[in-house]
Structure 1
Amino acid sequence: MPLEVSLWGWLITGAVIAVVIVVDLLAGRGRRPSSLQAGVWVGVYLTLAVAFGVGLWLVAGVEVAVQFFAGYLTEYSLSVDNLFVFGVIMTAFAVPAAQQARVLLIGIAAALVLRGLFILAGAAAIDRFSATFYVFGAFLIFTAVQLVRHHGVQPDIARNPVLRLAARLLPTTPDYHGAAWSVRVDGRRLLTPMATVIVAIAVCDVMFALDSIPAIFGLTQEPYLVFTANAFALMGLRQLYFLLGGLLDRLIYLSYGLALILAFIGVKLITQAAHDTFPQIPQIPVWLSLAVIITILVATTSASLVASRRTRASDTDRVPPDVTSPR
């Protein structure tokens, strides 16, 4: 049974999300949060997501709640992987520590808007073209293969064609000027590196949406669930970035886990589309998808932390003792 959400329901949901983002911005004031502050905010956002899912359970039933949680976990895991790229961008453009929180918040807010547009486009395509599921499924499987092939290879931000074109066409100052996106120098209005960083984040957000939106449509075709799962997954990423810190580098098998999840959902999309033509082809239930996603995330995270701990231990064993010669 389709989930029916009134216009008021959409408006209230959008307003609540907007208020949370504004409160986040005002609370941070662009400052880098401490580990304690970041942990508290991440906990708040996780609690809000769980409470929303429980509310869906009570109002719309268990099937809708399972679809939301499956979509939320998938989008959240993909968003955590995006933090790797955010870190690369921060390093490549030498973003001052004082501005990193602001850059992340603006980038995540832009991602929410862009994903909203992609959701509308995806929902319209599904309504009009029955073959959309085949396209989405094939694209997710292709993305999974690419993740495995390029595992451990950092993206080269400097070679991005959009950023290279912007660097040639737009005059930019060599230094940052606080949080300003542009400054006036000798009567000329020049952009600052901050504007380039925001463009880089936005370009990456578009690329992220290309795999995350088809992935969640493989779990639910309800636009409301797709949007809210994305919104809850994106909120709190700024604090999570600072909370995890060096832990991101230790999640060495996360890309493999995400590749498995994307490939699984791709197969689910294709079998779901084929089921309409060939009813004898079984469909993969959403509860099984949720179980597979949780199992893969737990297994890859645990394996990553164990492997990283062994690597650090072996590196420590190889360090020669500090022997000082007698005077």
Structure 2
Amino acid sequence: MQVTPLIWIITIAVTILFFVYEFFAHVRKPHEPSIGESARWSAFYIGLALLFGVGIGMVSGWNFGGEYFAGYLTEKALSIDNLFVFLIVMSGFAVPKKYQQKVLMVGIIIALVLRGGFIAIGATLIENFSWIFYIFGALLLFLAYKQAFGGHDSNPADGKFMQLVRRVVPLTDEYHEDKITVKQGGKRFATPMLLTIIAIGFVDLIFAVDSIPAIYGLTNEAYIVFTANAFALMGLRQLFFLIGGLLERLVYLAQGLAVILAFIGVKLVFHALHVNELPFVNGGQPLLWVPEIPIWFSLLFIFATIVVATVASLVKTRKDGKDDDGRPVDGGKGTGAVQQQGPASDLDEDRSLSGGASK
């Protein structure tokens, strides 16, 4: 796939412009997006991502087009899992709904920057060290295990990292609109908004670790890796408000993602064996008899796994007595991994902001 420096510059510039537009058109003035607004923009960004994939297929060939779509589906699924943790963080810090857009926007921009750095590092490693596929494959298999059995039991807002930040950073007990710092008594203090953004950034760093090796298991093209990630993150803010309580109904999302990560991990190990150069493996010769999993099968497998995990989750939560917004109905126990209020429901206005931000 031939991608000139000019195409890279244009792609990055257009991506930046989209996020600049998002900030000034939707985020700068604090408000809670309506369902209609969220639905329109979510549909727009998903449609744009699909059109871009068709464009890649028509210009560069459908093998690259298939790699893009497989990468986009994987990154979108991982991004939704990312949203789930964002929900936990914002509930832990009791972020008022009208300021959640700003937190999400900052979090998404941090995610894109971090993933951009990981993409560059990954491309360099792959180009110079073919054995890196063994490491990527082993990492994904480990992360698949953690994804399947680790869940989202802990709240990043209460983790050791955030406890350290609280000890180091002077902090106010309450929000001051959407400001990240305020001056009181001649001294500068951080607000809970800054802590929330730091927590979101820390979460983004963790997610970048499994996101980039996963997509490099589907394509070696850095351009496809970047654009699939960019499109997966575009519209994520609107999707957060659109699906709302549905996040809590996706009880098998972690298991579905674990299956996808494990599949890509195996695919990476197969590829590493197929291009093997390690002297202690088959005398440094490639194992040509090891099958290479075709991209069409990868795309079909990833799509089917997402569908099965989603349908199974909805059936499970409905059977256990949850309504369409993911809340228990009469006598329903609910099985969501997080018993928090979703972004589409009102945060407890009687809850002390200081208690939510400093617990």
TM-score (ref. length: structure 1): 0.94
The residue aligned with 2:338 is none
Q: Distance in 2 between matches of 1:286 and 1:178?
A: 48
The residue aligned with 2:317 is 308
The residue aligned with 1:73 is 73
Equivalent of 1:283 in 275, 285, 292 = 292
Q: Which runs of 4+ in 1 moved over 3 A?
A: 313-319
Matched, 1:11 2:9: yes
Q: Which deviates the most, 3-12 or 158-167?
A: 158-167
Structure 1 residue 178 displacement after superposition = 1.0
Query: Per the alignment, in what secondary structure is the counterpart of residue 4 of structure 1?
Result: coil
CA contact (8 A) 2:89 2:157 kept: no
Structure 1 residue 90 displacement after superposition = 0.5
Q: Distance in 2 between matches of 1:240 and 1:317?
A: 28
Rate the CA distance shift 1:318–1:175 in 2: closer, same or farther, 3 A: closer
The residue aligned with 1:324 is none
CA contact (8 A) 1:174 1:193 kept: yes
Query: Per the alignment, in what secondary structure is the counterpart of residue 312 of structure 1?
Result: coil
Q: Which deviates the most, 155-164 or 75-84?
A: 155-164
Q: Distance in 2 between matches of 1:54 and 1:214?
A: 24
Question: Which one-letter code corresponds to 2:240 in the other structure?
Answer: Y
Q: Which deviates the most, 284-293 or 161-170?
A: 161-170
Q: Which deviates the most, 158-167 or 252-261?
A: 158-167
Question: Which one-letter code corresponds to 2:13 in the other structure?
Answer: A
Question: Which one-letter code corresponds to 2:124 in the other structure?
Answer: A
The residue aligned with 1:322 is none
CA contact (8 A) 2:74 2:215 kept: yes
The residue aligned with 1:325 is none
Deviations 1:77-108 (A, max 9, x none): 00001111000000111111111011001110
Rate the CA distance shift 1:12–1:92 in 2: closer, same or farther, 3 A: same
Q: Which structure 2 residue ranges, 5 or more long, are not aligned?
A: 276-285, 333-359
Q: Distance in 1 between matches of 2:42 and 2:141?
A: 31
Q: Which deviates the most, 163-172 or 86-95?
A: 163-172
Query: Per the alignment, in what secondary structure is the counterpart of residue 67 of structure 1?
Result: helix
The residue aligned with 1:171 is 170
Structure 1 residue 316 displacement after superposition = 5.3
Matched, 1:223 2:222: yes
CA contact (8 A) 1:85 1:155 kept: no
The residue aligned with 1:142 is 142
Q: Distance in 2 between matches of 1:211 and 1:31?
A: 33
Q: Distance in 1 between matches of 2:291 and 2:130?
A: 18
Structure 1 residue 156 displacement after superposition = 2.6
Equivalent of 1:298 in 294, 307, 314 = 307
Equivalent of 1:23 in 21, 24, 28 = 21
CA contact (8 A) 1:112 1:230 kept: yes
Question: Which one-letter code corresponds to 2:254 in the other structure?
Answer: S
The residue aligned with 1:188 is 187
The residue aligned with 2:258 is 259
The residue aligned with 2:108 is 108
Structure 1 residue 160 displacement after superposition = 2.8
Deviations 1:285-319 (A, max 9, x none): 11110000001011111111111111127975758
Aligned pair count? Answer: 316
Question: Which one-letter code corresponds to 1:53 in the other structure?
Answer: G
Q: Distance in 1 between matches of 2:252 and 2:192?
A: 33
Residue pairs, 1:314-325, within 5 angstroms: 318=331
CA contact (8 A) 1:140 1:265 kept: yes
CA contact (8 A) 1:42 1:239 kept: yes
Q: Which deviates the most, 15-24 or 202-211?
A: 15-24
What RMSD over aligned residues (CA atoms) do the two structures have, in Å?
A: 1.5
Question: Which one-letter code corresponds to 1:155 in the other structure?
Answer: S
The residue aligned with 1:47 is 47
CA contact (8 A) 2:321 2:331 kept: no
The residue aligned with 2:89 is 89
Query: Per the alignment, in what secondary structure is the counterpart of residue 31 of structure 2?
Result: coil
Q: Distance in 2 between matches of 1:124 and 1:313?
A: 47
Q: Distance in 2 between matches of 1:178 and 1:317?
A: 37
Q: Distance in 2 between matches of 1:85 and 1:123?
A: 28
Q: Distance in 2 between matches of 1:269 and 1:16?
A: 32
The residue aligned with 1:122 is 122
Question: Which one-letter code corresponds to 1:60 in the other structure?
Answer: S
Structure 1 residue 59 displacement after superposition = 0.8
Q: Which deviates the most, 26-35 or 272-281?
A: 26-35
Query: Per the alignment, in what secondary structure is the counterpart of residue 265 of structure 1?
Result: helix
**Overall identity of the aligned pairs, in %:** 48
Question: Which one-letter code corresponds to 2:14 in the other structure?
Answer: V
Question: Which one-letter code corresponds to 1:80 in the other structure?
Answer: I
TM-score (ref. length: structure 2): 0.85
Q: Distance in 2 between matches of 1:183 and 1:254?
A: 39
Query: Per the alignment, in what secondary structure is the counterpart of residue 293 of structure 2?
Result: coil
Deviations 1:253-272 (A, max 9, x none): 11111000000000000000
Query: Per the alignment, in what secondary structure is the counterpart of residue 189 of structure 1?
Result: strand
Query: Per the alignment, in what secondary structure is the counterpart of residue 244 of structure 2?
Result: helix
